[in-house]
C-alpha cells in the first residue's frame, strides 16, 4: 500500500498522480503500485511540488511495517536504532505574560457587575 499526501501543490501534479493512485480526499492519494512505479511517482512529486509539501508512506519489510519520506516538511524522519521517528523542530516560546495588567472594568461582565444587570 502506498499513500501520498500533498499540501499546497499544483493541480497538475494531483492530476498526474490520479493516473496510478486513487484520490480519496483532497491531496490524499492511495494505491498499490510496484516499487519502481512508486519511486518514479515520488521523483515526479519532488520535481513538480513547487512551494508545496509532500509525504510518501508505503509498506515495507521492517519492524514497523512501513516507511515514509517527506518533501519540504518541517518535520523530518530520523532513524533511531532501527525505528523511524519524526523529528519535530522546537517551537518558539510564547510571548511572556504582558507586563501591564488590564485596567479594571474592561470586560462586559465587569461592567454588568458594577452597574447592575441592565
Question: How far does CA 27 lie from the centroid of its chain?
Answer: 11
- pTM (global) more than 0.85: no
107: left (phi over 0), alpha (psi -120 to 50) or beta: beta
- 3-class state of residue 99 by DSSP: coil
Count CA within 13 A, CB hemisphere, residue 36: 0
Q: What are 80-93's pLDDT values in tens digits?
A: 888 888 888 887 76
The per-residue pLDDT for 87 is 87
Amino acid at each position: 500500500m502506498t499513500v501520498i499526501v500533498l499540501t499546497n501543490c499544483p493541480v497538475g501534479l494531483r492530476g498526474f498522480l490520479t493516473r496510478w493512485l486513487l484520490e480519496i480526499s483532497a491531496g490524499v492519494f492511495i494505491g498499490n503500485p510496484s516499487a519502481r512505479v512508486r519511486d518514479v511517482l515520488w521523483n515526479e512529486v519532488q520535481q513538480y511540488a513547487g512551494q508545496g509539501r509532500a509525504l510518501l508512506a508505503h509498506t515495507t519489510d521492517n519492524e514497523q511495517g512501513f516507511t515514509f519520506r517527506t518533501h519540504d516538511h518541517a518535520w523530518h524522519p530520523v532513524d533511531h536504532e532501527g525505528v523511524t521517528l519524526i523529528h519535530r523542530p522546537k517551537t518558539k516560546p510564547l510571548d511572556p505574560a504582558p507586563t501591564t495588567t488590564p485596567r479594571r472594568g474592561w470586560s462586559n461582565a465587569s461592567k454588568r457587575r458594577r452597574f447592575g444587570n441592565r
